[in-house]
Structure 1
Amino acid sequence: MFCGIVAGEVPAFRVADEPDGLAFLDTRPVFKGHVLVVPRPHLVTLADLPPEALAGYFGLVRRLAVAVESGLGAGGTFVAMNNKVSQSVPHLHTHVVPRTKGDGLRGFFWPRTRYADDVDAQTHADRIAAVL
């Protein structure tokens, strides 16, 4: 579906069309002005984005976050990306959602948890650091 939008075969309300990516309105927005940013090539997850494309792609995401806030008079933005789990379209995409104080969106959309103790937290940190 997103490849069709990039190719111009599927209609979309385009916000930006640049070599580093394309931005268009989400058809089921959290709030009006919710934008999706996608890279031009078909990539499924963030891990598939080549290192040399990071600056261009995330530079576009950053500029969209500023533009959504300024252009809509929003108080800020929520910028998010799902990888595999909860990724409704298998094409890398970043959500840029306008926010205003009191809009009803509270933090993350899922329950939060706690580490059992500092040892538990350090164990998780070490497991992640070990594969960097």
Structure 2
Amino acid sequence: MGQRSDRFRVEITIDDHVVDVRAFGEIDIATVGSLRAALWAAPARPTLRLDLSGVQVLSAAGVRALVAAHLRVRARGGELVLVDPDPVVERVLRATGLHRVLPVRQSASAGKPVLVAV
């Protein structure tokens, strides 16, 4: 399942207890509607994980969408978790204080070297 535009796309994977949303591109005023639609369409599960490793831009509109999604998920008894933000996006999360409101985690594979057999 996914949504796509030239500057932004999202992929959604649904499991029994977790919905994984993976975002790619820029989240700004022009693309935030696609992110919002994906987060609102996600079925209720205990955890909604938003992978931000493929996001290079997070504008104020994107921050507002994350706060709204957090409130919506929390009202349904779940938790929104941000995963692997790009360093630029992580600076935005810290500058806005959003990292204190939403859990920001690194995935097990983030930052670890990949071993390739030769």
TM-score normalised by structure 2 residue count: 0.33
Structure with bigger strand share is: 2
TM-score normalised by structure 1 residue count: 0.31
Greater Rg, structure 1 or structure 2?
1
